[in-house]
Amino acid sequence: MWGFAAKAVLAGLMIAAIAEVGRRLPAAGALIASLPLVSILGMIFLWHVRPDAQNMALHAEATFWYVLPSLPMFLLIPWLLRHGAGFWLSLAAGCVLTIALYLLMMFVGPRLGLRL
């Protein structure tokens, strides 16, 4: 239980740090947010509990393919904001788009031979 709490605190600290940096320097906050810190930490924690190279390779590869459907959200949100949509609507639309693209990836990916 302590391990889970430590992971949650670490993730919360990362998010808080990104928000603070982004408040002062939006581009720097975006750069930090774009780093695969959560993925790297997740791989470290996964390796700690299951040091299996094949499992880690599958995890890392699937992570790559699941990142792709999330990228259009980062184009849709600013486009909507610049065209007068409110923040919450833009964020919701970005989330809906991402969910739809994740579902599409889950459906199409295996048919293209991707191991997800």
* CB-CB neighbours of 16 under 10 Å: 10
pTM of the model: 0.82
Q: Do the Cβ atoms of 15 and 26 come closer than 8 Å?
A: no
Residue 111 falls inside a structural domain:
yes
Token pair in block for residue 115: 């191991």
In a domain, 15, yes or no: no
Contact at 8 Å (CB) between 70 and 98?
yes
The helix (run of H) or strand (run of E) holding residue 19 is helix 2-24
Which pLDDT value is given to residue 104? 97
Residue 86 lies in a domain: yes
Structural domain that includes position 69? 52-116
Is 10 a member of any domain?
A: no
pLDDT band at 2 (very low <50, low <70, confident <90, very high): confident
Asked whether residue 25 is assigned to any structural domain, the reply reads no
The mean pLDDT value of the chain amounts to 94
Q: What is the pLDDT of residues 16-44, one digit of tens each?
A: 999 999 999 999 999 999 989 889 989 99
Tell me whether residue 59 is in a domain.
yes
**Could you tell me which residue, 105 or 10, shows the higher pLDDT?**
105
pLDDT digits over 37-77, tens only? 889 989 999 999 999 999 999 999 999 999 999 999 999 99
What is the number of H-type helices and E-type strands within the chain? 6, 0
- How many domains in the chain? 1
Q: Is residue 16 part of a domain?
A: no
Three-state SS letters, 95-116: HHHHHHHHHHHHHHCHHHCCCC
